[in-house]
Structure 1
């Protein structure tokens, strides 16, 4: 039986059907990626799965005894709870009592001691101390300080805490909505590794193509209210989807041709509608109804970038430039850099390394505290803000864009504002809706519409890929490549950088800015490393240096060296062969499970293979432990 089943789920807002009899099953161990265009209802579907939203029709079934956890899309703001309090909160009453116990244990007055005794007794009844061990264990595993306040942590570390909260209860199903948004690349890599170790089922929404390729074992697409499953990798899904769309267009064309013929026939005259032809008339009525109910796939966004007059050949030049804050902290130092018209440059660095400061220096919004930065001439800058700060949430999309105008000029052509917004997939009705009700993807598209409605020869894009669906993302990539002006991109989307930029500026957190040819993958191939990776290397090397120090042995009483019996010696000699066999078995099973069509097999067969893998891994661990034990006995 599937862990999770959605049966004929329906949901509509007004006259717009968001989900129309959508069905889905998720098996144990699957990692299912839910794809679809912005506004199709992916986040809503996850909320239905978690019970936050109640559908108009259909049922959500979770296997008896199974539990579900959620990693939320948005990071909390202003949450002053400690990491321990957040994670222990997964256990409701026991979690609240554990948090209270930790707070009371820091106090010494008599009143606190009385309450402490009461809390302790209740925790014992709830098996709270075992839960306390689990909370501390997972925080240690994720290297999170239990006393760290959530509002003092970066986005990546907040995501660690929230994932720890989701997984501490050992859920059978985990849902994630755009988990990589606002994370830098090392944080994304950490998240991928943590999720790969999770043995339960995962249902996630993401538009990060590199993340999808790494994580997904199956792709499910939400398209016009229906869920379509592809038992394939992401790249194979793209091929299958293209073929499916071609076949759909062919069938629709044949249907429309036949409908046109029947419409022509019905208009031939009264003889055509005699009793012996009434069956054909009824069939025509049914065809008309089928055509009326057919929800055509929405069009693609068709935006183009409006070119301003060309900037000067030199866009910006810096010599020995640097920037320090009044407290003396150096953010940028000793920067020698030249940017020419038409350059496509990506900025790479962990959060807090100074990428935004660097962009402001290059735009002339900040003056260097050392060295010289020379700006080029005739610069027209358009800025895409990752925080969507350019949008007024109280206004609708039309007012946000028009600024009182009925027509806007794009590359010398007058366009009606409503018509222009339709190129960004906003219907007239949606264009008149307040931005506050828009999804993250719709807000991103609106900001792109506003950005590209103004002439520019320099585009600055700060995390433009967050919330954009894949089709819009690919169109944006194509437009940026064709754009004749200069592009500066801050992004943690590895594939986006590879597809757009020709040069990379890497910031290592020490203030040094290094220039590399190519995108993210090229930077990696040239030895590019993040500062956190370098710190990890140092930590891994540190214990080795300590081990190499000579240590004076502690005198011990002399005793006769222990000897292995013949039987144990024979067992020790055979164990390496058994370990090798088990390792090969585990590798073979893992390869079988990673096959694209594995989860398309019958459920009992899938469950049997997964159970066999868990059993084989357990036997391997036990065998290795036994080998180590006998090795110590034989070499005292």
Structure 2
């Protein structure tokens, strides 16, 4: 069943067509990722679907009975509203309907009976008599503290409350615009599970490639005003996109070669004009128009790091360093040595102490105990996730060059306008005040400023927020070829895997442990006790506070299970393996390119089977954890 359709739909901004006669159809149960460069018009497309923006021309159709809910990329305000009220706000229209109904009932006016009856039917259709139960169900499902104020919550928990306000509407279609911005890794993984469990359609924008890879059943790319659909996940999209670009380049080369031949023919002089074919002349005119109308692919950002003199072999050494915040240990007895050329990733929940450790490593903060030995010849370039290095009132040019017309990059002078064009800023845009820029553009300004400075120690604190995927991949390539030392804080799992050579993980109770490799390597190597899959956002709520140590006196607490429970525990691994195998087959089936072209009843049945199998596997895993904890006496 189709939820929405675009038919030759157009939306323009000034003279630029963001959506140029596009067609789109989204089916129930699909999870569609919308990708494209920053500024391509992705958020505009979502606004059209949500009803916030009307198309300039063309047709936008949606199922008359459809319920659409949104999860904005903007976090809810940290104000005095209760979490319960924020979730209830998702039902604002139904709350208003019920208030009108109850007000009419209180009037005891016989002439309002028809209106009462209409309101009653509408409330029944929208399940308006069970508002409180629906809110309580969502609060329980998302483990939300209903009575707490939003001001008491971290960003991740406020994002969770916003998701609650969307899910309480029981939507048929969920719109997500960069839902992972400013979330830590475990909260991102929790969000993935919630979206996978959601049985409606999903249309989402995200630069998190790991999330797109896991969630998407189809990818649509917005490029130069046109939409192209790619069945499958992000990995398949990359393969198909590369083949498409090669074919486009081949076609354009053939077209341009033929156009050049025709241009030579028309200019052959008097002899050619005497014998020229009028049909051929008209065809040439049409080819000229087609070449003029061809919208060239927007260039990707181009930039390189400014080289600096090599630092000493030792960059920084910590010995038995400890640090606390408001009486809570965030770093405990950390001994660490970082050598020239190391690329180190820092991961952990928001508030765990990653930025504090960066300050200690850079010599900006003296630890409460322990010693710090800094290396020699260090030249530091720092990327600040809060963008505190930018003056919002000044232009891009002034923020990057300090008013100079040219800057020196690797020994060569470059005009500031030319340099900024490498970061996709036109000469007109380069004169814009920073306060008028989007989040992605602000990050590109920071990168332009950062990479104009000679540095042998590069510190990046959440550089991937708001960047489009192509710029992310270019940044990865540059960092991989960078000869200096890199300290990187990021919640982008794919970015960490592709860039870092070692990982410092904040594992609670002040424990900071070094692992070889990136995020996936950490998952394989970490002790089981550090996993918080049963409640991934718990670590963020604790803000780095210590979980109960499961290993403490474990051998003294082991209980002997009853015969029946022991047999159940012994059987569970095989049952989970079988459930995982069936789930993998269902996921492969529903990700097939032609899956949604089959009969609707069959598609719905297979998606329902996929959801049921996910729930079954989750139940088995929870039971296994429960029995293991009983056996351990935890």
Give the TM bin, normalised by the shorter chain.
0.7 to 0.9
When residues 272 and 396 of structure 1 are mapped into structure 2, their CA distance, relative to the original with a 3 A threshold, is: farther
Work out the number of aligned pairs and report it: 571
Structure 2 residue matching 1:428: 3-state secondary structure: coil
Structure 2 residue matching 1:196: 3-state secondary structure: helix
Please report how far the alpha carbon of residue 9 of structure 1 lies from its aligned counterpart in structure 2 after TM superposition: 2.2
Distance in 2 between the 1:362 and 1:616 partners?
47
Deviation string, structure 1 residues 416-435 (Cα, Å, up to 9, x no partner): 11111111122223223333
Please report how far the alpha carbon of residue 307 of structure 1 lies from its aligned counterpart in structure 2 after TM superposition: 1.4
Distance in 1 between the 2:433 and 2:395 partners?
4
Please report how far the alpha carbon of residue 171 of structure 1 lies from its aligned counterpart in structure 2 after TM superposition: 0.6
**Greater displacement, 56-65 / 431-440:** 431-440
When residues 161 and 620 of structure 1 are mapped into structure 2, their CA distance, relative to the original with a 3 A threshold, is: closer
Structure 1 residue matching 2:25: 3-state secondary structure: strand
Distance in 2 between the 1:339 and 1:5 partners?
54
Structure 2 residue matching 1:4: 3-state secondary structure: strand
1:301 correspondence with 2:295:
no
Instruction: Summarize the alignment of residues 453-532 of structure 1 with structure 2, pairs less than 5 Å apart.
Output: 453-528=452-527
Distance in 1 between the 2:87 and 2:229 partners?
34
**Greater displacement, 212-221 / 54-63:** 54-63
Structure 2 residue matching 1:386: 3-state secondary structure: coil
Distance in 2 between the 1:525 and 1:97 partners?
52
The answer for the alignment partner of 1:597 in structure 2 is 593
Instruction: Summarize the alignment of residues 424-443 of structure 1 with structure 2, pairs less than 5 Å apart.
Output: 424-443=423-442
Please report how far the alpha carbon of residue 614 of structure 1 lies from its aligned counterpart in structure 2 after TM superposition: 3.9
Please report how far the alpha carbon of residue 607 of structure 1 lies from its aligned counterpart in structure 2 after TM superposition: 3.8
Please report how far the alpha carbon of residue 330 of structure 1 lies from its aligned counterpart in structure 2 after TM superposition: 2.6
Distance in 1 between the 2:529 and 2:46 partners?
33
1:609 correspondence with 2:608:
no
The answer for the alignment partner of 1:561 in structure 2 is none
Please report how far the alpha carbon of residue 460 of structure 1 lies from its aligned counterpart in structure 2 after TM superposition: 0.7
Distance in 2 between the 1:620 and 1:401 partners?
50
Distance in 2 between the 1:533 and 1:616 partners?
24
Gaps of at least 5 residues in structure 1 are 100-113, 551-578, 623-636
Distance in 1 between the 2:403 and 2:521 partners?
46
When residues 398 and 549 of structure 1 are mapped into structure 2, their CA distance, relative to the original with a 3 A threshold, is: same
When residues 522 and 540 of structure 1 are mapped into structure 2, their CA distance, relative to the original with a 3 A threshold, is: closer
Distance in 2 between the 1:540 and 1:606 partners?
50
The answer for the alignment partner of 2:174 in structure 1 is 174
The answer for the alignment partner of 1:389 in structure 2 is 388
Deviation string, structure 1 residues 313-336 (Cα, Å, up to 9, x no partner): 2111111112234x4333222111
The answer for the alignment partner of 1:26 in structure 2 is 26
Normalising by structure 2, what TM-score? 0.83
Instruction: Summarize the alignment of residues 101-116 of structure 1 with structure 2, pairs less than 5 Å apart.
Output: none
Distance in 2 between the 1:296 and 1:597 partners?
28
When residues 524 and 144 of structure 1 are mapped into structure 2, their CA distance, relative to the original with a 3 A threshold, is: same
Please report how far the alpha carbon of residue 466 of structure 1 lies from its aligned counterpart in structure 2 after TM superposition: 1.3
Instruction: Summarize the alignment of residues 55-70 of structure 1 with structure 2, pairs less than 5 Å apart.
Output: 55-70=55-70
Structure 2 residue matching 1:523: 3-state secondary structure: helix
Please report how far the alpha carbon of residue 45 of structure 1 lies from its aligned counterpart in structure 2 after TM superposition: 1.2
When residues 118 and 384 of structure 1 are mapped into structure 2, their CA distance, relative to the original with a 3 A threshold, is: farther
Instruction: Summarize the alignment of residues 84-95 of structure 1 with structure 2, pairs less than 5 Å apart.
Output: 84-95=84-95
Deviation string, structure 1 residues 452-479 (Cα, Å, up to 9, x no partner): 0111111111111112122211111111
Structure 2 residue matching 1:379: 3-state secondary structure: coil
1:328 correspondence with 2:322:
no
Instruction: Summarize the alignment of residues 85-484 of structure 1 with structure 2, pairs less than 5 Å apart.
Output: 85-95=85-95, 128-274=128-274, 277-325=277-325, 327-484=326-483
Question: After the TM superposition, which segments of 4 or more aligned residues of structure 1 sit over 6 Å from their partners?
Answer: 96-99, 537-541, 545-550, 582-586, 615-622
When residues 29 and 20 of structure 1 are mapped into structure 2, their CA distance, relative to the original with a 3 A threshold, is: same
The answer for the alignment partner of 1:13 in structure 2 is 13
Gaps of at least 5 residues in structure 2 are 108-115, 537-546, 551-556, 563-574, 617-634
When residues 143 and 547 of structure 1 are mapped into structure 2, their CA distance, relative to the original with a 3 A threshold, is: farther
Please report how far the alpha carbon of residue 90 of structure 1 lies from its aligned counterpart in structure 2 after TM superposition: 1.4
Distance in 2 between the 1:522 and 1:615 partners?
32
**Greater displacement, 262-271 / 201-210:** 262-271
Please report how far the alpha carbon of residue 535 of structure 1 lies from its aligned counterpart in structure 2 after TM superposition: 8.0
8 Å contact 1:352–1:509 — kept in the other structure?
A: no
8 Å contact 1:354–1:509 — kept in the other structure?
A: no
Structure 2 residue matching 1:441: 3-state secondary structure: helix
Distance in 1 between the 2:610 and 2:204 partners?
29
Higher Cα Rg, which structure: 1
Please report how far the alpha carbon of residue 118 of structure 1 lies from its aligned counterpart in structure 2 after TM superposition: 6.9
When residues 414 and 89 of structure 1 are mapped into structure 2, their CA distance, relative to the original with a 3 A threshold, is: same
Deviation string, structure 1 residues 550-587 (Cα, Å, up to 9, x no partner): 9xxxxxxxxxxxxxxxxxxxxxxxxxxxx99x999986
Please report how far the alpha carbon of residue 270 of structure 1 lies from its aligned counterpart in structure 2 after TM superposition: 3.9
Normalising by structure 1, what TM-score? 0.83
Distance in 2 between the 1:401 and 1:506 partners?
33
Distance in 2 between the 1:361 and 1:618 partners?
49
Structure 1 residue matching 2:19: 3-state secondary structure: strand
Structure 1 residue matching 2:193: 3-state secondary structure: helix
Please report how far the alpha carbon of residue 40 of structure 1 lies from its aligned counterpart in structure 2 after TM superposition: 0.7
Structure 2 residue matching 1:139: 3-state secondary structure: helix
Distance in 1 between the 2:151 and 2:98 partners?
21
Distance in 1 between the 2:374 and 2:106 partners?
68
When residues 528 and 269 of structure 1 are mapped into structure 2, their CA distance, relative to the original with a 3 A threshold, is: farther
8 Å contact 1:319–1:373 — kept in the other structure?
A: yes
Distance in 2 between the 1:619 and 1:242 partners?
34
Structure 1 residue matching 2:378: 3-state secondary structure: coil
The answer for the alignment partner of 2:620 in structure 1 is none
When residues 8 and 346 of structure 1 are mapped into structure 2, their CA distance, relative to the original with a 3 A threshold, is: same
The answer for the alignment partner of 1:110 in structure 2 is none
Please report how far the alpha carbon of residue 299 of structure 1 lies from its aligned counterpart in structure 2 after TM superposition: 2.2
**Greater displacement, 215-224 / 54-63:** 54-63
When residues 586 and 25 of structure 1 are mapped into structure 2, their CA distance, relative to the original with a 3 A threshold, is: same
The answer for the alignment partner of 1:2 in structure 2 is 2
**Greater displacement, 496-505 / 151-160:** 151-160
